[in-house]
Structure 1
Amino acid sequence: MDVLAILNLGEIAQYFSKMAMFPVFDLAYYIVSILYLKYEPGSVEVSRRSPVASWLCAMLYCFGSYILADIMLGDSPIDYFHNNSHILLATAVWYLIFFCPLNLFYKCVTFLPIKLVLVAMKEVVRTRKIAAGVHHAHHAYHHGWFIMVITGYVKGAGVALMSNFEQLLRGVWRPETNEILNMSFPTKASLYGAILFTLQESHWLPASKSTLICLFTLFMATSKVIMTARHSHGSPFALIESWVCHLLFGSPLGSSEDSHDHHHPAPVAAAPASPTKTKEELNEGTRKRKSKKAE
């Protein structure tokens, strides 16, 4: 207790939960989000052929969670676009990543030490968005626990949930990549986080919101940094999910993670495909090979 009192962990958590996200953390969120867009096959070609379509896709990657949550809660889907500073900042990031001379900005932000910092900062924003979504739904539907969970889930993973619509803007249709069918780690974590924040908002969880925000952010940032550094597609939830699915639904042990992998066969010499690795390595390698052929 004396150690905790000296460290003032409660005050640290309180300060952290009230720390402003704009512009530093939001900038990191936009950079990582638009990097994922550039890793998608054909995204660079679309940016050259139709910059407007590419910009719209980038805005969906940055603000898709807000748009989807507003639609669910009966607000205008373009309501968030009145934040001119956020739109301009995201637009500047989109332009630098796709059109910076010699790809200098892209090379800087994909340098692994810098990228790990940006990934961690993005998870800070994600956690804050989940908590804000649950809090917003709590005010609109005071006893609607499921609505709170769904809203927090959408705020944390709305970009992934809208991926098929974003693909249509790029002229691509890949229904097998539906995020509900193939949930990635951030999507699962957003759902579990929304449940935790709903329990806290309903006073079923004996913890303050600031403490929960601090702990969940630490878990998310640590997990994503390790996964990015190791180029891993594993999930901290894999073992627990395997046992729970086997107990409740009769699924074979160890098959839950396999079912979330891509359904199309991977090359024999390649590592198992995954949402993280596919976006950050396989698609980027494909794009580089195409650009070399074009040259």
Structure 2
Amino acid sequence: MPPVLVVEDLRKTYPGTRKTPAVEAVRGISFAVEAGETFGLLGPNGAGKSTTLGCITSLVRPTSGRVVVDGVDAQREPQKVKRLIAVVPQTRNLDRDLSVREVLTYHGRYFGLAAAEREARADRLLAEMQLTDKAGAKPLTLSGGLQQRAMIARALMHDPRVLLLDEPTTGLDPQARRALWDTLRGLQERGLTIILTTHYMEEADRLCQRLAIIDHGAILTIDTPAALKRGLPGGHILDVWVRSGTPIAPRLEKLPGVLRLEGVAATGDEDGLERLRLFVDTGNGLLDRVLLAVREGGGDLHHVSLTQPSLEDVYIHLTGKELRE
């Protein structure tokens, strides 16, 4: 079975003006998503994630490249593509003058559903999103998490093949975020194809079967979250915060058990400290050897942290910097 979504060498450049240079928002990205898969685009704000979604929906015209949804070219037949996909944007845009039920049925009417089918689908989706008791409420009276569920329900009214979620949990408190994750897992179990953009590492790790890490408009890597973490050298990461007048890194990277060393810029309350990231195999005595090497180099060890690799570690490994908001 062919992929339900294919993106080929997608590029988008916004032209400059006399005062501002052109901006290359998307720089030749390619990926394919299988039917029923949850695929994530993980990266900071400004990385090109939303522009990519805009090109998929045909709301943004790419400079070059190709997007195919369920065999339909998004540029040649944009109206067909709009019936195959549904979008939940970052900004909550529910009609404040309608009830939640009316928002759903109005959307169904827009897509040509008969009255009986509109009502039946609205009932089903309200129940699935646990919004039945809020059906008569105005959207602005709902919490952020409930508004987000209502937007997902609206998006699903025309039974799309692909659901696009642009930063779906931004602005939600931790409890609402986890409740929405449960909602999305339910959609996964139904076999819906989901494209998710996020800058939350935990969200990508928990929800995505595969993900692309994207920065400055380019894809750095694509794989499953587990494979991305396994791809880091060694089985553990030892972060060392040290203050020293002489370079300590050359001493540490020569230690037995250290497979790779990377420097990470320290900020905030760690100002003045050098943060060194060691990919290690956690051999016996490694921590003692690190302490000795720092001391022999005339350094002052502030603290150390030993962890298993996370997606944030993968991102730092690929870019040399922490994920910016």
TM-score scaled to structure 2, two decimals? Answer: 0.22
Query: Which is richer in helix?
Result: 1
Higher relative contact order (CA 8 A, sep 6+): 1
Larger Rg over CA atoms: 2
Query: Which is richer in strand?
Result: 2
TM-score scaled to structure 1, two decimals? Answer: 0.24
